[in-house]
Amino acid sequence: MVRKMGVYAVLAYCLYGLFFYWYLFHLADPVLPFEYQGTSADPATFLNGRELELSEEYSKIRNLLFFLSTPLEWLIYFLILLFGLSKIFKRWADDSAKYKILQTPIYLFWLSLFSFVTTLPISYISYHFSKSYNISTQSFPSWMKDELIDFWVNYGTWLIIVPVLYWLMKKSKKRWWLYAWLLSIPFTLFMMFIQPVIIDPLYNDFYPLKNKELETKILALADRADIPADHVFEVNMAEKTNALNAYVTGIGSNARIVLWDTTLNKLNDDQILFIMAHEMAHYVEKHIYWGIAGYLLLSLFGLYLTYRLMNWACERWGNELKTKEVSDICSLPLFFMIISMLLFASSPLSNLVSRYQESRADQYAIEMTKNPDAAISSFQELSRISLSQVNPPLLVKIFRYSHPSMLERISRLEEYQIKHRND
Q: Which residues are marked as active site?
A: 279, 362
Other beta carbons less than 10 A from residue 316's beta carbon: 10
Rounded Cα distance, 315 and 396, in Å: 36
384-401: burial string, b at 16+ Cβ within 10 Å, e else:
bbbbbbbbbbebbbebbb
- C-beta separation of 183 from 299 below 8 A: no
Rounded Cα distance, 271 and 292, in Å: 29
Closest CA to 75 of 18, 12, 30, 27: 12
Rounded Cα distance, 272 and 226, in Å: 19
Residues forming a β-bridge with 234: 207, 259
Spatial CB neighbours of 44, under 8 Å, sequence gap ≥ 6: 32, 37, 52
- C-beta separation of 249 from 193 below 8 A: no
Rounded Cα distance, 272 and 8, in Å: 51
- C-beta separation of 82 from 2 below 8 A: yes
Spatial CB neighbours of 57, under 8 Å, sequence gap ≥ 6: 133
Q: What is the DSSP string of 346-370?
A: HHHHHHHHHHHHHHHHHHHHHHHH-
Distance between start and end Cα atoms, the chain: 73
Cα separations (Å) of 36 from 31, 391, 417?
Answer: 10, 10, 15
Report residue 155 CA to chain centroid gap.
18
**DSSP one-letter code for 242:** S
Segment holding 258, helix H or strand E: strand 256-260
